[in-house]
Amino acid sequence: MDKKSLTAVARQQLKLASSATSGRSSQTIYGGHSRSLRQTVVGLSAGQSLSEHDNYGESTLLILSGKLQLVSGENKWKGSTGDLLVVPNARHSVEALEDVAFLLTVATK
């Protein structure tokens, strides 16, 4: 069994994001492209975003700290610490309303 502290990983990714020119950082903590399940902790500095992209499988965002907005077309969903957002099966983007860390879980078929 492997155990990780999501709080510690989130804190680390936010620190890395704050010093990155892109304002973001991420670390896959489970799985990967060769598996059907992948979990990645993403840190985004306030005002930064993940530009619009496709969804290649079922996915969720669990906000570990901060606030974000998930956008798909005309639809927008705000999330804050402790919220779980189901990512729509459509093109979408993520915007950091404040410094935010979240766990992205993706299950591909």
Find the length of the chain: 109
pLDDT at residue 53 in the model:
85
What is the pTM (predicted TM-score) of this model? Answer: 0.93
Question: Is residue 1, in this structure, part of any structural domain at all?
Answer: no
What is the model's pLDDT at position 93?
95
Beta strands in 1-109 (DSSP E): 24-31, 37-44, 49-53, 58-65, 67-72, 75-80, 84-86, 92-96, 100-107
Q: State residue 76's pLDDT score.
A: 96
Q: Quick check: is 78 in a domain? A: yes
**Selected residue with higher pLDDT from 55 and 11:** 11
- Convert the pLDDT of each residue in 47-102 to its tens digit: 999 998 887 779 999 999 999 999 999 999 999 999 999 999 899 999 999 999 99
Q: Is 23 helix (H, G, I), strand (E, B) or coil?
A: coil
Range of the domain at 46: 6-107
Looking up residue 92, the CATH number of its domain turns out to be 2.60.120.10
What DSSP designation does 98 have? S
